[in-house]
Amino acid sequence: MKHLLRLTFLLVLAGLTGCASLYFPPPPHAPMLTHQGEFYGAVSTNQHTNYALQGAYGLTNHLAVAGTFSSLHRKKTDRTEDIDFAEASLGYFTRLPDKRVLEVYVGGGGGGTQRIERNDEQLTTRKLNGSLSKVFAQVNYARKKRENIHLFNRDFPLTYGAALRMSYMQLNNFKIDGLAAPGESNLFLEPITFTRTQIAGPVQLQIISGQIFGLRNNKYLKAANSVFQVGIVINLDKNTTLDE
């Protein structure tokens, strides 16, 4: 566990020191469904004021749909960034022995991105904008930890797991100061870990941490931000759980 926390800390630092990119990764979804009719919802944010809303629903005992909406609007001394992105996916999930769950999702998404750069006098020096599109495949794996967190004379069950997403991204309709510019594409690998602590009933606290790696050396569409989100998860209509 200590090694996992140390690795998470290093990955977050790497993301904080990255260069600006026209793409900010939404957190990979990890609903970890176990049966038909189960609903997963999550809202999360991070140190970049990137907000994400996520949901998933078990259509059958093995088939699910999931969606994510991510929004980043921040203003810094030297630039303003506005990125909105939405995803939808179809997945297969199954419950394995020893309190484990495996999920596989495939999907796609799209959105818009804009960055306005300024000089020391706060005058606009350059404006970049375009549209983003993505197709991806993702594998999630989780299990219930045997130990609980004991606080305030209560035991808080822990669930922890990992996910690996591979995404093909494109920057389309790209313009610099209103003039058409060549678009870019990249192949991203996004390994993450997540931990959930049950707070009360179906409500859980979730922490997601990880990194994004780009396989192409681009100028604008690159892996420059870590994946780190803190949020609240709600699972409804759970006839079975990981604890059973």
Would you list the domain boundaries of the chain?
2-233
Q: What is the pLDDT of residue 19?
A: 53
C-beta of residue 227 within 8 angstroms of C-beta of residue 243: no
Identity of the highest mean pLDDT range in 5-14, 110-119, 199-208? 110-119
Q: What is the pLDDT of residue 147?
A: 60
Domain 2-233 fold is Lipocalin (2.40.128)
Amino acid at 10: L
| Tokens of residue 178, six digits | 């209103």
pLDDT over 90 (residue 13)? no
Identity of the highest mean pLDDT range in 4-8, 162-166, 226-230? 162-166
Mean pLDDT of 177-199: 94
Q: What is the pLDDT of residue 160?
A: 87
Q: What is the pLDDT of residue 156?
A: 66
Q: Angle 156-157-159 (CA atoms, 0-180°, nearest 5)?
A: 135
Q: What is the pLDDT of residue 73?
A: 94
Q: What is the pLDDT of residue 157?
A: 73
Of 83, 149, 148, give the one whose Cα is nearest residue 112. 83
pLDDT band at 99 (very low <50, low <70, confident <90, very high): confident
Mean pLDDT of 202-221: 92
